[in-house]
Amino acid sequence: MTLHVGQFNLPSRDRYEAAMRGIFERRYYTNQGPLARAFEDRLQAFLQVKHAVCVTNATIGLMMASEALGISGRVIVPAVCNATLAQALWWCRVQAIFADVDTLDGQLDVDALAGDIAERGPVNAVIGANLWGNACDASALVALARKYDLPVMFDSSHAFGCEVAQRSIGSFGDAEVFSFDAADIVNAGGAACVTTDDDELAARLRNIRSSYGAGRPVAVVKTSNGRMSEAQAALGLLSLDDYEANRAHNRALVDAYRTGLGAIMGVRVVEARRVDASNHQALVCVVDENVVGVSRDALGAHLAEHGVEAVAVRALDSNERIGAQIDRSWLRLPLGAHVGEDDVERVCDLIGEVAARRGSSRSLV
């Protein structure tokens, strides 16, 4: 069986069947039903935000947040981020202007951006990304955006449950978007939410989402069918119940990777160094081809031959210096409910075997 990248956290069949029976008994399947409302309430309490607006998927959430904030024209985006973010902006006819990232953890380099934002020409917003259970310097990014009177939002798809200075990710920008896909630590069947502490922005989001009777009506230019289904909400509520256990499992796996990969010259684990509490949702490592003896892509192909999915981290703009380095050397390894510590040991052994055969890369290409 292939070890996949992604969390794949699922409740027991009995728990999910019980939740689904309730949906069919009520015959209320969508349009801000009782489970969707309960899920929003739980999310608001968990993330310590005034509003968590649940939607059907993260792409819709990012599009809605962009529209609600009135984002247009050119916006600053990290060179390394989820492709979903760039796709949502393209749908909104917004041009992404890519900024470089930090060499150690791949998060947006706010210090570098502060030095050259004025030289990039006119921009209308700043968008950050909190990746792999880590975060960019969100407070500094918000301060920089305010200096230029720009709205700021975050794609926090990988950061649910992460904290900075005892403050939950989700409450930093004007809006933040979380993903609840099967690959994420909270699984709500591909759903998502947009968080904000701004009452007016939340009202616009709910009217753009087009849930009849959910919140007060306000004028919006566009609407979308972004409603979360009751089935998604049911799965999300169960997944929230399991969050702490799933995070603890992830942490044990990350510790095992640190031990195994730490013994291999030329391979470095990318640490979640900017957060006080991480969800440990992803394990990313850096492969130094000059030391390991094979390229990142050749190593990934070797792992695939042995039933291990390893996903190359890609920069959306490899013209940026650090983005280009990441594009050719960073690799995401399996983590999640389907992975055990013995699996981590096997993955590390496979990588170690390749590193020990330095110079034999032609047999792996």
Tokens coding 197: 């502490």
- Domain for residue 213, yes or no? yes
- Domain for residue 5, yes or no? no
Domain that includes residue 328, residue range: 243-363
Where helices occur in 154-215 by DSSP H, the ranges are: 199-209
Q: Are residues 190 and 247 in the same domain?
A: no
- Domain for residue 108, yes or no? yes
pLDDT of residue 362: 41
- Domain for residue 345, yes or no? yes
Q: What would the DSSP string read from start to end of 187-202?
A: -STTEEEEEES-HHHH
**Of the residues 197, 223, 241, the one at which a domain ends:** 241
- Domain for residue 110, yes or no? yes
Question: How many domains does the chain divide into?
Answer: 2
Q: Are residues 212 and 76 in the same domain?
A: yes
pLDDT of residue 358: 64
pLDDT of residue 216: 84
Q: Are residues 198 and 328 in the same domain?
A: no
**Of the residues 241, 269, 299, the one at which a domain ends:** 241
pLDDT of residue 76: 95
Q: What is the mean pLDDT of each run of 10 residues along the chain (365 residues)?
A: 92 95 94 95 97 97 96 94 92 92 94 86 93 96 94 97 94 96 97 97 94 79 90 98 98 98 96 95 96 94 96 84 89 97 97 78 42
Closest by CA to 188, choosing from 35, 85, 334, 63, is 35
